[in-house]
Each structure stands twice: as structure tokens, then as C-alpha cells.
Structure 1
Amino acid sequence: MSKKKWTAIKHISESVFLGLCCKVGTSQVLAMRKDVMDIRDMVRNQVKTSEETSVMFSGSQREGFRLEGSDVDYMLWPNNHRVLWDLSQSRYYNTHRQTLILCDCSDSPPGYSMLYLLSPSMDRDIPRACVRMNNRHYISSSIYRQIMCSTSITNSTQHGPCVSGTYRTLEYDTAHCFVCDFWPPSASSWMDRCHSWPQPRVVDDIAKNGCHFVAIGHKLGSHEDHEWRFSFSLAEQKLVYSMNNCQFLTYGLLKLFLTEIINKMVGNDDKFLCSYHMKTAVFWVIQQHIIPKWCPQNLLECFWVCFKLILKWVYEGVCPNFFIPDNNMFLSKIHGNIQHQLFTRLYGLYEKGLAFLLLSPSIRSYIINVLYNQISSINTDELTLISEAEFDVNLFKEIYHFNKLTNFDVQRCTRYLYTIEYMIGSSLLTQYQVLQLEKLLASVLQKTAFIIIHMETYAHKNKLRYRADKISFHMLKLAAKFGFITDIMYIAMYYYKTLRYMEALSIIDMIKVKLAQPYVMYGFNVDTTMYTEAVGGQSWSSKMRQAVAWDIRLDNKIHYFSELIPEQESVVQNNGPTLCIPPLILLYMLEILCNRHVDTMRVHTALNDLQTLVHYDQGQLIPVPLKDISWQILGICQQVTGNLQAALSSYQQSLKQEPFHYIQRATEMRIEQVGVLL
């Protein structure tokens, strides 16, 4: 290859690298995403009990991708059940507290096993999934999937080993599985292969965390309906985290290549290659040390090597599992005519060379930019790719979306608070993890405050009510010091709930002033120049308190104030955990409700402001998915102020919006109420 051509390819690689940094994430952004998700999961794991179901966020989002259309993957397993490879491992468990399950791989293909109960299960669903064979109670994967699907969110379906569906605007896959604390004997060869990658500490960490079993059998196995497949999701997550940024972006480029080129023009039934195959190819290429240097200048070479490996696999009809190479992941899916057609399509791309990447909408412009502009050099310094404000948007988005903890009661809240207090003082935490812990602390304090005051509302002794009030208010004030600007709203809700309207209005006026500042970041909307001038260079904790607003998330198991109870109950009936409300919508609602008891003139002003916002906002202050609850709240405020005709119109508008919250039941109930009064 001529020096001129090599230089051009190097520049194209660098340009694509920069494009992927913008599309997928810089190394700093990816490290931040990992830390934010990790610390949330650490808090959850510290608090869960042996009787509860463990939850692991998995899939491409857990790996750090935020690509459009990515679904959300979860793995769930009963924490008091453990799978063993042999009976000798039973000595590590208390059989009075844990149900033991034994693997039987004797008649299953590599990477699959039958599971049978060694002791009675403490879970009522598992005995229902058992079939009797050879005087043993085997857990049938197909029956278990059916049971789990029947108890999941409405309109869910079975998809492979998962229960799949759509909740709000998000597609999800939930795999109900079992966990094993020991590394599979059939995967021991993987540990022997790890000479240069991953590092020994990563190998040890992976091995000591074992694997999972997901509910699906091999299509060519003797017991397809009853077998379980080994899952290495946790191990794969750790391997992805051990990649350098060029390796991760190569994986990202392969994912874009899959979705935007290979699978673009075919139906769902003809999408035989999946993201898992792309990831497996990257794993093999890294470990076999085919590429001596993974760097921005070599990105396209790295991609090309991985692509050729996938092409070779399709030609041979063999895709070896990274952990158990004897498990051919193409065996039951890509063979015969399907294999021939797929190879023909891929070989056609191979003949075009790297030029086929021009077919990718995400990558095309970065290639053309180099081809049509004689660029002498490209700066691949990631620190210059994203401004301080742009990084902060990414950071606070992650903080908001991965700030959810579950199963709140006083005892659970207390354990959360102790755990966060203990963890937040650790010197081993990154700055992102400390920030996430602070926001988690704010959320737990808010929920605890409302739970306590609800418990003591019906107390007969004034002393108990007074003490509960004092504790709750102190918690909310403390939470406001650790959260977003909008976390102060919980104090206003609390004052309204406890009939202190003047105090609530004072808080509302203060929040109005804070939200009116031109530098405030709300979601993705931010004036980067003003934001940087106002808070640039300050700590993220300080920025979060002074300049960041986000939607108010109301836990539907907690009644914050009575006017929204029907909406919360409607969401609960559709298995929804939260009600998300734009901050200004809730602000105006509280102002209207408080002023009904204080100043009727201000009621009409606030109602006009609310009506203008709901009618004319173009997605800046009311995200499109939250229009259903925004129209609903406008209707509630119009109804309580006596404007029934306007309320009816607002409720009807709420029904026309995208059903993000599934509050139609509450809306229809309110329409019926208004109809009776009109």
C-alpha cells in the first residue's frame, strides 16, 4: 500500500474514531457511566436480604452504550437458591436457608445443563415448573419461562430466554434465571487462555463470581424444553470494562455496522447475526493478540480484522462461544440455505472494502469529511471533543436515570441510609460515585420523610406527631443539600401535605427564582455559555445544587398529596413504579392548591401561567412523554378552581397524548366526575 493511501486510511480512522467518541462516548464519559451504575448496584446489593430477588442490569446499556433504540436488559434470580456443579459444594451453604440445585450436564450440548432440586424450593413458582424424570425433580426451562411471563407486566411476550415487552417508551428484556457461585468446569480452558488479556485480577474476579443459568434449551438438544443455558453476562460486562477505548469503540462500530448495514434491509426473521456475535468477535481478536496496537489510527484495521473473523465464522458455520469454544453458537441458527445467503451478503460487502461503511448514516459524514477535505492532521485528544457543559449533561442524565432504589419501607430506608453513610466516606470511591451516592441519599431521605409522616398521621399522641414532623422536615432539608434544585420541591409538597400553605408558598417562590436563572440545565436543555460562566470549574456537587433541574419522580407507593392519588394508583395498576412530572408543572400545581387557602387572586395568575405553559410549550419545559400528566394536572387545577368545561377539555387532551404513564383510568374517572357536575 502506498504511503499516501496509508495516510488517508489513517486519517479516516482518526475521523471515525472522533465520530464514535461523539456517538458512543469518550473514555471519560464511559468511565463515568460505569461508575454511576456500579455504585447504585453496590448499594442495592448491600441492602438486599437472602429472601429477596436479586436484580442485575445487563446488556448493552450496562456496558456503557446509549445508542438509539437500545433495549434495557435485566437478569432476575431468587437470592435463596444456588446452583452447584457437584455435591461437595453444598458444604458452603446453609440448607435451612437456601435451596440447592444440582447441574446435570451428562446429556446436554456444551454450554447447557439440566437442573434438578436437591432440596424443597422456598419459592412457590419453582415447584410448579418441575417435571419428574429418573426419580428427580428437574426444573423445566420452558415451563418456568411461561410462569414468569404470566406474572410480568401486561402485554409481555417470550423472546428466547427472556420476558420481553414495552413499558412506557422503553423496550425491555427480563431474563429470570438462577445463579451459581462457582466457575463452570467446562469453561476452565478459558482461564488457561488468558495470558495477555484480560489481566489476572480481572480473570480472578470473573471466576470467583461464577455464572448464571437462563431459561432456554438447545434446539438440537435431547431435552430442549427442560435445559438451561449457561450465561456469562457478568463476566462479559467485566471484559467490556477491561477494554481500552479503541477496543470499545471498535465494538461500537461493529454494533452500528450490524444495525445500520447488515440488518437494515431485512425483516426481523432474517436477522441471524446479533450484537452478541459482534462482541464475541472482539473478545477473540483482543485475546488472540492479532492486532498489536489498538489506537485511533488503527481503528478501521481493528474493525476489518473483526469483520473478517465474522465472515470466516459464517463461511464455516462455526461461531465458538468465548468461554466454552465447543459451544457453536451458529449450530441451530446459521446453517444450510440461511448460511449461504448470509455469507453471500457479507462477502459482497467484503469485496467493496471499507467503502461499505459509507452505508452507515452514523459514520458516513466522518469518512466523507476526510475524503473531500485534504486534512493534514486530526486531533484525537478526547478531552477537546466535549465541553464542560456537554459532559455535565451526560453526567446528570446518568445520575437521574440510575438513581432508583426499590422496595421502600422504614426498615429498608434505614438500611439504605446506613449503607450510603458507610460507603460515602470511602476513599476508594471515584468522584462520580460520590456524586451518585449524594443523590441516592437525597432520594432515600425524601421517601423516608413522607413514609414517617404518613405513619404518624394517625397517631393519637400529639407528641409522636410532633416528633415525626420534626424528623421528616429535617430529612427533607438535608436532602435539598444533596440533590438538584428541583429536590427542594419535596419540602413544598411536605408543607402542603401538612397544611402549612404560607410556608409552602415561600418555598415555591424561592424555587421559581432559582429555575428562572438563564444558566439552569433542565434535562438536555442548557445554554452552555451561561452555564459555564455561572458554575464552570465548580465541583459537581455544587453544580447539582445550584444549576441542575430535572423531572420530579414520585414513588407510587407513597402518597405525597391527595390530589394526585388517582393518577398514582392508575400507574400502579399498570406496574409503573413512578410518576414523572416536569418541575414547573408541579410548581404551578402546588401554587394553585396552596393559594386556594391563602390568596385567590394568585390562584388565577398561577392557573394562567400553567395553562400557557401546557398549551404552548414546544418540548423545552415539558418533554413529549410527560405531556399526558401535564395535561392531566392542568385539568385537575381547572377542576378544583371551578372551571369544569376547561377541565373536561384538558382531560380529553391528556387521553390523546402518548400514554407514557398509563393514567387513562384516572383520566376517565375524572371525566366522569366532571360530566356529573356539568
Structure 2
Amino acid sequence: MDSIRSLQTTEAIQRISDSVFVGLSHIVGTSQLVAMRRDMMDISDVVDNQVKTSDEQSGMVSGSIREGLRLKGSDIDVMYWPHNHRVIWELSQSQYYNTHRQTLILCDCSESPPGFTLIYLLSPSMVRDIQRACVRMNNKYYVSSSKYTQIFISESSLPYNPTPHGPCVSGTYRTTEYDSAYCFASDFWPPSAFQWIDRCLSWPQPHVVDDIVKNGCHFVAIGHKLGNHEDHEWRISFSKAEQKLVYAMNHCQFLTYGLLKLILTEIINNGVGDDDKLLCSYHMKTAVFWVIQQNAIPHWCPQNLLGGFWVCFKLILKWVFEAVCPNFFIPGNNMFLSKIHGVKQHQLFERLSELYKKGLAFLLHSPSIRSYIIDVLYNPRNFICTDDHTLISEDEFDRNLFNEILSQYAIPGKLDIQICIRYLHTIEQMISSPLLTQYQVIMLQNMTSRSLMNTAFIFHMETCTPDNKLSYRADKMSSHMLKLAASFGYITDMLYMAMYYYKTLRYVVALSIIEMIKFKLAQPYVMYKYIDAEMYTEAVGGQSWSTKMRQVVLYHARLDKGIHYISELIPEQQSSLQNNQDILFIPPFILLYMLEILCYRHVDTMRAQTALDDLQTLVHYDQEQIIDLDFRDISWQILGICQQVTGNLQAALYSYQQSLRQEPFNKIQAATEMRIQKVYQGIN
């Protein structure tokens, strides 16, 4: 009890704030990690959108992932909008567009609540689906938000089964939840948000305000529940502006936002049914925006983190009591309207009031930060260092950086030579820009490596011809691109060279590359599932990320849809693709052994059997040291393929059956069942 009371003293609160700051830096990320994540997201979006043609949809990742948060269970929010359609607020703005190339849409806010609007076409849309989403009112063709969403769900090519979720379509791709919003973009700032510009006296800085205003806004497909045209209205979205506001926070403010999200998940909404989760992370973010702008906290620093959190929490409590949550850009848009009222409002207020009465002690109910508070209570004299640069080691930061690179590079929906060339051309134009950060340079380097590998395999597929001279030239080009990609890519990227040489029947060359890879993998400092921090620092500490990427970084191999790497894995790629999985993931050691077995079958059968024995031992006895649980399906499958091609049908049958028993991460069951049938035919 005494320790709980000590939470109320100023000195204790400051020390606990320091400790929670350190804890949140580990959970949410240090300022360096957050800056790196944002830079990666930004450059990925820029490249992706520049590669797209004018008739394709533009897109951007939004929400907390884009803002730099990486909290467990966070979903990914993505916004898509037609590049050749633009929304304007008044007819005079049409002068800035070529109406022969772009379709203009005009807002009509006359009958909509604040923050919402109707939109209608000024000329027929060039996109059939948009025309289909129109309803005729007052001799104008209004784009109906509900129809628009229905059409995109029914004709979606997203790699998951989407369902409506507010203004988005939601679904789960592998283990990640996605919210995709199909919207429209405007290059102009909404007139109803002009007063926000005048309100920005102290925060954000004028250059941030100017940047936000010149980037306009979006319109997401959902109407106001109490409006006259709920099925047809669109909500004005400030996602891009909010992203820039979060970027404008200092790190203590950002961690306060992260703490509010944690508290929402772990305490406020813990054990509450989905229908009763009235507060969401957007309300938390809005509270932080208001508190910062109103200067409610004079100094945001680690020692005052809990002070800032408490002011935000009290503001949310006030909003719930009044049933009014004013939108940060358009305060007249009450985001609690139609959602928090009556009995549910009273119950939520009572729940928050109980937490408020406990004071900051209620944070002890958070499993994520509880230990950081208890450490101070039991060791009140311990020194707490809040220096951001000391909170994460070099190897930890590097692992985060390379993980981020791996997760950011998006494969285009359709792969062909023209798309690959556009990627390479776009990257070439950007790579020399003095405005790039060090994180973006290494990201572009990885994009280049990946694009070269895609181009090499596609070029070989498309130029496969009886003309020996043409085939020779194409092979030289593909080989050169793969060597170039491997020269500055991950260790894993050398596997693509080995696949190519196996595919083109140069088994000895492929085996020489395999031996080089095996030598690299034998080094104790390789970064894969686990890392020896001491050996890593000794081997590559202080060196460039480019050097580290080539020498020590190992990741799972990715076989992209539309590219046939080796014939032995085509059924697995096709099965995965039929289930809307556009990438086949394979652990590097598994693919390495597979290639070694396939090559040695043509060179040295004894060594092929030795490699097969090694693969079998790995798959049978690995305890998630090398093979992730997600990749057990493809690992057993590849073992079965290798056993089948070497004539051991009974062992192959067992391996395929084991593959079916694993978590179907790669969705290869159809290929497995087909292979089982062939094995039965061979046995009988």
C-alpha cells in the first residue's frame, strides 16, 4: 500500500516517468527506430506510386504503422484512390486540371453534417466501376459511398477475403490484419477546416501547417449515421495530415500516444466485447493532438511523460462525460455522436472514473509497463538513463532495420519486364538525391537488388527461344543482373543465382555458389533467427549497413508470383497463388539443401544422399531454431520432393502427410495432395 501511495508524490512520479519512458522506448521504439521506420515507409510509398501508370490506383500506408508504431496486434491501414480522378471544392479549381486526362468530382456539403459531404461527377468517369457506383439525384450523378465499397469488395483482387469494416474493407493476409480504404483524393484543403490553420499558433510549426494544407485531403466511403444521405455520403479524411502531425511530435509526445494505445488495449478495452469497445486509438491520437496544441503541458520530457499522459486521460474522461469528441480539424464533427450515448456512455464513464480514482496506480494493470513501475518502487535509488542512444544496442537496431526493409518492399500486383524496368528506372533517378536519408539509401539498395533478380528471371522466361544466339545474349544479361543483385543484397540473394544456374542446367556452377553460401552461413555472426551480439559486433560493428547486408544478413527466400524459378516448385507456387498468396516463403537452409540435392543428383549421387540426410535431420529434429513454425509446411513439402526425386517414395509420402498437418501458412495443400496422389500411383 505504501508503494502505491508513493505513486502520488512528485519525485516518485518523475522517476517512474523516466522508467516508463525507457520501457516504452523498448516497446514502441527509440527515436532512432521510429525515424528509420518512417523513412522506410515514405520511400517505399514514393517508389511504388511513381512506378504506377496514370490509370492505376495510387496508394499509401496510413495509421499507426505509417506513424512508426509497431505494437503487437496492430493492423495495417492502406488507402487507395484513382490517380486520374480529383475532387474539388468549387468550380474555379477546375482550371488547374486537364479535363481530357482527369475526371473532376465536385463536393456538395449543403445537406451533410460537419466533416461529411456528397460528391458528384462533373463529367462521366473513365472508370466503369465508378460509373456503376453513381446514383442520380437532382439531375446529377453522385458517387454513392456504399455502392462504391460493395463494388470494390465484389471485384477485389486483394490477397485475402475482404469484408466491410466501417469505411474500409478488412481481412487477414497470412497472419496480418489489413484495413483497406477505397477513397478519392483532393489537392485542396477543405474550406470547413480553414479555421484549423488559424488555430495553429504554437503547434505545429508554420512549415508543417503549409505542408499539410498543400497536400489536401481524402474522402473515405462512409456516411454519417444521423445524416440525410448516410448511404451516399463520404467522410473527409485527414490521414495524411495526421501522419505529418505525428511526425511533428517530439519523442516524449509520441511515446505518450503509444502509452494511450497500450492502455486502451490492455486496460480500457480488456475483456470488453467488440460491440462495447466504444473508444478507439483514433480518439487517443485526437486527445494528444488537442493537448499538445493547447499547451496543457509546458514541457514534454521523460520526467514529465506520465504528467502528459494524465492530462490526455482526463481530457478523454471529460469527452466521455459530455459525449463530445471534437475532430481535431473540424471541431463541429463530434466523433462520439451516434456512438457514445445513453446506457453505454454511462457505463464507459463509470469504468474510466474508477481508473481515474486510482490515479496513476491503475497503470499497474498494464502487463506491458507494469514491471517498469515496480522496478522503481522496489529500487527507488537506482539510476535511470533516458539517453535515447543508449537504450538499444547496435545489433538490435540493425535487426530492426533489416526487418523493416524486408517488410517494406512490396512486389507489384503484376510482374513483367516493363514493370521491372520502371522500378529500376525510378530507383536510379532517386538514388542520387541529396534529400535521401541514410535509411532510405539502404532501402533503395535492397529494392534495386530485388528488382534486378525479378528482371533476370522474367527476362529469361520471356526470351526462352530456339535461337541460340538470342538465348546466349539473354542468358548473359540475366546472369549479370543476378551477380549484380547478389553483390550488394542479402546472403539469401545468392540462392537466386544458384536457382538460376540449376534451372539452366549448370549444376557445377550452382554447386560452387552453394559452397560459398554454406561458408557464409557457417560464420558465428550471421544474423538470422538468433544472433550472437558479441560476435556480430566484433565482425561488423561500426561498418556500413550495405556491408552488413552483404556479409551477415540472412532471411527466408521469397518466390514471387508470375516467376518460375525452378520447375520442382511450380506446383507449390500455383497452389499458393490459387489461395490468393502472392509469395511463397522458404527458409534459406531448406532451399539451400534442396538445390544441393537437385544439383548433386546430376554430378555425385553419394553427395546428393548426404545432403538429403542433412535435410531430413533438419526437418525432423529442428526445434524452431532454424525453421519458423510458419514455414513448417513448405519445409516438409520440400523434404518430400527431394525424397521423391531420389526414389524414396515411402519417405516422401510420410513427408507430404506431415506437410498437410502443419499450419497452412503458404497455402500449398493442393500441391501436396497432388503429389500424394502421384506417390500412391508410383507405389502401386
1:660 maps to 665
1:334 maps to 340
* Aligned CA-pair RMSD: 1.4
Q: Which amino acid aligns with 1:167?
A: Y
1:495 Cα offset (Å): 0.4
Q: Which amino acid aligns with 2:582?
A: P
2:600 maps to 595
Mapping of 1:468-479 within 5 angstroms? 468-479=474-485
1:534 maps to 539
Match of 2:127 among 123, 127, 136: 123
Q: Which amino acid aligns with 2:432?
A: G
1:437 maps to 444
2:311 maps to 305
2:20 maps to 16
Distance in structure 2 (CA, Å) of the matches to 1:651 and 1:321 = 55
Question: Which is worse superposed, 447-456 or 96-105?
Answer: 96-105
Q: Say if 1:441 and 1:482, in contact at 8 Å, map to a contact too.
A: no
2:196 maps to 190
User: Aligned with 1:272: secondary structure?
Assistant: coil
* 1:455 pairs with 2:458: no
Q: Deviations over 1:633-656 (max 9, x none)?
A: 111111111111111111111111
Distance in structure 2 (CA, Å) of the matches to 1:234 and 1:663 = 38
Mapping of 1:142-157 within 5 angstroms? 142-152=146-156, 153=158, 155-157=161-163
1:408 Cα offset (Å): 2.6
Match of 1:580 among 566, 585, 591: 585
Distance in structure 2 (CA, Å) of the matches to 1:59 and 1:574 = 27
Q: Which amino acid aligns with 1:620?
A: Q
1:370 maps to 376
2:653 maps to 648
Distance in structure 1 (CA, Å) of the matches to 2:79 and 2:560 = 23
Question: Which is worse superposed, 654-663 or 447-456?
Answer: 654-663
1:2 Cα offset (Å): 10
Q: Say if 2:525 and 2:532, in contact at 8 Å, map to a contact too.
A: yes
1:128 Cα offset (Å): 1.7
1:660 Cα offset (Å): 1.1
Q: Say if 2:376 and 2:382, in contact at 8 Å, map to a contact too.
A: no
Distance in structure 1 (CA, Å) of the matches to 2:33 and 2:6 = 37
Q: Which amino acid aligns with 2:143?
A: I
Question: Which is worse superposed, 25-34 or 90-99?
Answer: 90-99
* 1:140 pairs with 2:144: yes
1:64 maps to 68
Distance in structure 2 (CA, Å) of the matches to 1:128 and 1:656 = 45
Summarize the Cα distance change of 1:280–1:4 in structure 2 as closer, same or farther, 3 Å threshold.
closer
Q: Deviations over 1:176-211 (max 9, x none)?
A: 111111111111111111111111111111111111
Q: Say if 1:198 and 1:239, in contact at 8 Å, map to a contact too.
A: yes
2:680 maps to 675
1:551 maps to 556
Match of 2:322 among 312, 316, 325: 316
1:155 Cα offset (Å): 3.3
Mapping of 1:24-39 within 5 angstroms? 24-39=28-43
Q: Say if 2:6 and 2:12, in contact at 8 Å, map to a contact too.
A: no
1:569 Cα offset (Å): 1.1
Summarize the Cα distance change of 1:223–1:369 in structure 2 as closer, same or farther, 3 Å threshold.
same
1:4 Cα offset (Å): 9.8
* 1:423 pairs with 2:427: no
User: Aligned with 1:550: secondary structure?
Assistant: coil
Distance in structure 2 (CA, Å) of the matches to 1:405 and 1:119 = 34
Distance in structure 1 (CA, Å) of the matches to 2:306 and 2:411 = 41
Distance in structure 2 (CA, Å) of the matches to 1:182 and 1:480 = 45
* 1:288 pairs with 2:290: no
Match of 1:408 among 407, 415, 437: 415
Q: Which amino acid aligns with 2:93?
A: Q
Consecutive unaligned residues in structure 2, runs of 5 or more: none
Distance in structure 1 (CA, Å) of the matches to 2:120 and 2:225 = 20
Q: Deviations over 1:270-296 (max 9, x none)?
A: 100000000000000111111110000
User: Aligned with 1:257: secondary structure?
Assistant: helix
1:212 maps to 218
Summarize the Cα distance change of 1:294–1:671 in structure 2 as closer, same or farther, 3 Å threshold.
same
Summarize the Cα distance change of 1:287–1:403 in structure 2 as closer, same or farther, 3 Å threshold.
same
* 1:506 pairs with 2:500: no
Q: Say if 2:511 and 2:596, in contact at 8 Å, map to a contact too.
A: yes
Q: Say if 1:11 and 1:377, in contact at 8 Å, map to a contact too.
A: no
* 1:99 pairs with 2:107: no
Match of 1:629 among 634, 640, 653: 634
Q: Deviations over 1:446-466 (max 9, x none)?
A: 0000111111112x4222111
Summarize the Cα distance change of 1:434–1:416 in structure 2 as closer, same or farther, 3 Å threshold.
same
User: Aligned with 1:225: secondary structure?
Assistant: coil
Q: Which amino acid aligns with 2:648?
A: N
Distance in structure 1 (CA, Å) of the matches to 2:617 and 2:140 = 68
1:422 Cα offset (Å): 2.0
* 1:54 pairs with 2:58: yes
User: Aligned with 2:259: secondary structure?
Assistant: helix
Question: Which is worse superposed, 142-151 or 350-359?
Answer: 142-151
1:339 Cα offset (Å): 0.9
Match of 2:227 among 210, 218, 221: 221
Q: Deviations over 1:222-256 (max 9, x none)?
A: 01011111111111111111111000000000000
Q: Deviations over 1:334-392 (max 9, x none)?
A: 01111111111101100000000000000100001001112254211111111111111
* 1:397 pairs with 2:373: no
* 1:79 pairs with 2:86: no
1:617 maps to 622
2:503 maps to 497
User: Aligned with 2:118: secondary structure?
Assistant: strand
Distance in structure 2 (CA, Å) of the matches to 1:588 and 1:63 = 40
User: Aligned with 1:620: secondary structure?
Assistant: coil
Give the structure-2-normalised TM-score.
Answer: 0.97
User: Aligned with 1:46: secondary structure?
Assistant: helix
Q: Deviations over 1:402-434 (max 9, x none)?
A: 122413321222221122122111222111111
Q: Say if 1:125 and 1:147, in contact at 8 Å, map to a contact too.
A: yes
Match of 2:11 among 7, 11, 14: 7
Consecutive unaligned residues in structure 1, runs of 5 or more: none
Q: Say if 1:168 and 1:659, in contact at 8 Å, map to a contact too.
A: no
Distance in structure 2 (CA, Å) of the matches to 1:255 and 1:348 = 19
Question: Which is worse superposed, 356-365 or 554-563?
Answer: 554-563
Q: Which amino acid aligns with 1:658?
A: E
Distance in structure 2 (CA, Å) of the matches to 1:333 and 1:631 = 50
2:250 maps to 244
Q: Deviations over 1:580-623 (max 9, x none)?
A: 11101111111111112111111111111111111111212111
1:45 Cα offset (Å): 2.3
User: Aligned with 2:9: secondary structure?
Assistant: helix
User: Aligned with 2:355: secondary structure?
Assistant: helix
Q: Say if 2:7 and 2:361, in contact at 8 Å, map to a contact too.
A: no
Summarize the Cα distance change of 1:625–1:554 in structure 2 as closer, same or farther, 3 Å threshold.
same
